[in-house]
């Protein structure tokens, strides 16, 4: 397990230092610096507390003494068996090479120049990214200098992949936006570097595996893209949708989304396969160092004593398809797994193979910082039911909709839950208590048997039989077409929705402070394949934590069609009732205007009055479909 602090959910802040130390363009310089000091006696000055992360990623850095400028750190453990020394003591020791853990070493050198005359200084300056990756006026470790993400990417004899996003950075003041891309193959070798430049402000951005292979004359590949957004602003997460579909007669069609930018100790929401399925987890190393033997493992949820680990290492940036079902042949759905990621990988994808069809989805980050508490499940009346997780319920005459709650923090022991079912007009048809589910429960709930009609469900905490929830409410929703057997699944977390009062920094805002009571959601408009025209759709939900509609009003939602150059070309207004839902089909709403928008066009779902949530997908021939939750910005 790498001893790293990669992400803090407080305020949605990632560890920018982690990104700076692991960036593919920085790793080479840091390995060279590590090699230079190996076997040498040297001192280290750590003005900002970087050493713990540096040591985790580059473990042979072994200074003989570490100095700090923080008075309250003097005498504390230095992370390698010694004690931290005061910076003022340094001049009393024999001169040694001094490594200053700063990307702005010249400033530190100017500060210490008279204090430590004729000392041999080194810093992290050579690991700084080229100037085009940063923006003037920002500190080097400003989070917007490190807007990065990974994406699963495959183009082979059976599958295509398509990444879709938008140049939403300009809305936050971003300028001269460019997407620097590096494609790694299955062995972790670099296949290609290139830059994608948006066609304009608010323009759509598409990275299609077919086009990339042709443009650069590449062989077939299964690997990952590292993407760095140059000029980003507002926040540091690149959000995207990722479509995967089969070539030729292969009927596979599925969608997932961005991987988050930070590795995690553990991941959850991994369903066991059914009897006739194969479960593949794509292990994709996020670092320039190998994942060691036994660094990745899996266990039945709630039983870490049964962890089974990979018996070999995985090369830097390499991709490995692991048959998890073969590791646990005795485990079948609705059982679920927990994955030990060891802080080596960002949110992984899993792929379920059933006959000639596959479907792809992602695991979720399991939080290590949360402390379950009864009060989280008994919110104040001002926020109603508090945390709720909204999700679609498809027409029960045609589709099965299965709900499987997921433990999503390391300390949570039980999940005390109920689910409320609504029709499209916001009427609550029924409420079902699911129980105070133990961490290792093996159930999935058949909502198609409980629901009277299409609409949506709100999962929420219900402590009538006790329990202590963690506030990180998650579930996997599985959809199955009754006639064709085509399936899709998605997972997401709960929030507090559409209350004027704020509790535990909720309702969450995409940018700014709570309450977040507005909507800006991206919906792609479909695309052409060699055999059909795929059409997009969105199941849009107006979730409300308070069950009374007295404080909530119909939405004032605008569907804005944006062309591939980022220009608005059409608009339609719709109105959702509180706790209601609406099925958006752009091809029916905008008709021929979609051709004018181009494949890089998209629909912006905008509402300045309420926070909506949506699930998007693609419809193909033969009742094929994909479905996943959407991203907002």
Each residue of 65-87: b (16+ CB within 10 Å) or e?
bbbbeeeebbeeebeeeeebbeb
| Phi then psi dihedrals of residue 78, to 5 deg | -95, 5
Residue 549 CA from chain centroid, whole number:
33
Predicted pLDDT of residue 8? 53
Last residue of a domain, one of 131, 158, 187: 131
**Does residue 138 sit within a domain?**
no
pTM: 0.94
Mean pLDDT across 98-110: 91
- Co-location of 150 and 109 in the same domain: no
- Beta bridge mates, 388: 460, 495
The CATH number covering residue 75 comes to 3.40.50
Q: Given strand 221-230, what is the order of strands in its sheet? A: 147-155, 221-230, 178-184, 190-196
- Co-location of 432 and 346 in the same domain: no
Last residue of a domain, one of 225, 257, 289: 257
- Co-location of 19 and 126 in the same domain: yes
Share of the chain above pLDDT 70, in %: 98
- Co-location of 247 and 276 in the same domain: no
Residue range of the domain that includes 41: 7-131
- Co-location of 175 and 321 in the same domain: no
- Co-location of 240 and 170 in the same domain: yes
Split into its structural domains, the chain has a count of 4
**Does residue 204 sit within a domain?**
yes
Residues 234-275 pLDDT 10s: 878 899 999 999 998 899 999 998 877 889 999 999 999 999
Residues 387-401 pLDDT 10s: 999 999 999 999 999
Contact 19, 52 (CB under 8 A): no
**Does residue 471 sit within a domain?**
yes
Number of neighbours of residue 35 by Cβ within 10 angstroms: 11
**Does residue 554 sit within a domain?**
yes
- Co-location of 331 and 422 in the same domain: no
Residue with tokens 């039989």: 465
Of 61-70, 318-327, 523-532, 582-591, least confident by mean pLDDT is: 523-532
**Does residue 1 sit within a domain?**
no
User: DSSP string spanning 12-81?
Assistant: GEE-HHHHHHH-HHHHHHHHHHHHHHTT---EEE-TTS-HHHHHHHSTT---SEEEES-GGGTTSB-SSS
The CATH number covering residue 190 comes to 2.60.120
**Does residue 222 sit within a domain?**
yes
- Co-location of 291 and 392 in the same domain: no
Q: What is the mean pLDDT of the chain?
A: 93
Predicted pLDDT of residue 117? 80
- Co-location of 558 and 410 in the same domain: yes
- Co-location of 584 and 616 in the same domain: yes
The Cα 184–Cα 162 span in angstroms is 16
What's the helix, strand, coil split of the chain in %, to 5?
15, 40, 45
- Co-location of 197 and 118 in the same domain: no
Bin 187: left if φ > 0, else alpha if -120 < ψ < 50, else beta: alpha
Residues 150-169 pLDDT 10s: 999 999 999 999 999 999 98
pLDDT at residue 101 greater than cutoff 70 = yes
- Co-location of 252 and 308 in the same domain: no
Tell me how far CA of residue 293 lies from CA of 186, 315, 392, in angstroms. 18, 11, 41
**Does residue 107 sit within a domain?**
yes
Predicted pLDDT of residue 12? 45
Of 202-206, 351-355, 428-432, 547-551, least confident by mean pLDDT is: 547-551
Last residue of a domain, one of 366, 397, 415: 366
**Does residue 336 sit within a domain?**
yes
């Amino acid at each position: 397990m790498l001893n790293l602090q990669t992400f803090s959910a407080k305020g949605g802040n990632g560890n920018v230092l982690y990104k700076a130390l692991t960036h593919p363009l920085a790793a080479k310089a840091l390995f060279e610096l590590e090699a230079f000091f190996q076997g040498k006696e040297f001192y280290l000055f750590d003005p900002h507390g970087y050493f713990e992360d540096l040591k985790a990623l580059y473990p042979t850095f072994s200074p003989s003494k570490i100095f700090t400028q923080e008075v309250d750190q003097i005498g504390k453990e230095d992370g390698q068996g010694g004690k931290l020394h005061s910076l003022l003591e340094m001049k009393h020791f024999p001169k040694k090479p001094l490594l200053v853990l700063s990307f702005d070493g010249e400033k530190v050198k100017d500060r210490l120049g008279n204090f430590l005359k004729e000392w041999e200084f080194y810093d992290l300056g050579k690991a700084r990214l080229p100037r085009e990756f940063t923006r003037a006026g920002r500190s080097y470790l400003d989070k917007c200098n490190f807007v990065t993400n990974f994406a699963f990417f495959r183009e082979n004899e059976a599958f295509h992949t398509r990444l879709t996003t938008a140049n939403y950075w300009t809305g936050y003041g971003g300028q001269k936006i460019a997407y620097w891309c590096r494609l790694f193959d299955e062995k972790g070798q670099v296949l290609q570097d290139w830059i994608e430049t948006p066609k304009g402000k608010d323009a759509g951005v598409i990275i299609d595996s077919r086009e990339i292979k042709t443009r650069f004359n590449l062989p077939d590949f299964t690997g990952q893209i590292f993407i760095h957004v140059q000029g980003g602003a507002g926040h540091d997460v690149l959000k995207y949708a990722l479509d995967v579909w089969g070539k030729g007669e292969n009927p596979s069609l599925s969608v997932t989304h961005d991987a988050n930018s930070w590795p995690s100790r553990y991941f959850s929401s991994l369903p066991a396969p059914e009897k006739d399925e194969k479960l593949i987890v794509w292990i994709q190393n996020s670092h320039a160092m190998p994942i060691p033997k036994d660094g990745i493992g899996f266990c039945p949820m709630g039983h870490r004593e049964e962890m089974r680990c990979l018996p070999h290492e995985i090369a830097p940036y390499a991709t490995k398809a692991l048959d998890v079902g073969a590791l646990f042949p005795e485990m079948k759905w609705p059982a679920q797994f927990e994955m030990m990621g060891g802080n080596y990988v960002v949110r992984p994808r899993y792929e379920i193979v059933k006959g000639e069809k596959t479907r792809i989805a992602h695991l979720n980050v399991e939080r290590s910082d949360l402390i379950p508490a009864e009060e989280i499940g008994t919110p104040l009346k001002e926020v109603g039911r508090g945390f709720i997780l909204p999700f679609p319920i498809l027409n029960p005459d045609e589709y099965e909709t299965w709900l499987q709650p997921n433990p999503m923090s390391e300390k949570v022991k039980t999940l005390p839950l109920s689910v409320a079912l609504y029709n499209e007009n916001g009427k609550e048809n029924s409420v079902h208590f699911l129980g105070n589910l133990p961490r290792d429960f093996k159930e999935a709930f058949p909502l198609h048997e409980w629901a009277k009609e299409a609409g949506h469900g709100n999962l929420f905490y219900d402590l009538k039989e006790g329990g202590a929830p963690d506030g990180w409410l998650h579930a996997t929703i599985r959809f199955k077409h009754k006639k064709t057997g085509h399936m899709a699944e998605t997972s997401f977390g709960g929030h507090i929705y559409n209350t004027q009062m704020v509790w535990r920094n909720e309702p969450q805002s995409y940018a700014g402070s709570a309450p977040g009571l507005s909507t800006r959601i991206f919906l792609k408009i479909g695309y052409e394949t060699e055999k059909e025209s795929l059409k997009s759709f969105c199941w849009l939900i107006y979730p409300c934590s308070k069950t009374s509609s007295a404080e909530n009003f119909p939405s004032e939602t605008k569907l804005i069609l944006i062309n591939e150059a980022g220009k608005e070309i059409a608009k339609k207004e719709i109105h959702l009732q509180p706790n209601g839902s609406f099925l958006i089909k752009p091809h029916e709403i905008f008709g021929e205007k979609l051709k004018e928008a181009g494949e890089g066009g998209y629909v912006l779902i905008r509402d300045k009055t309420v926070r909506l949530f949506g699930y998007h997908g693609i419809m193909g021939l033969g009742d094929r479909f994909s479905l996943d939750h959407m991203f907002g910005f």
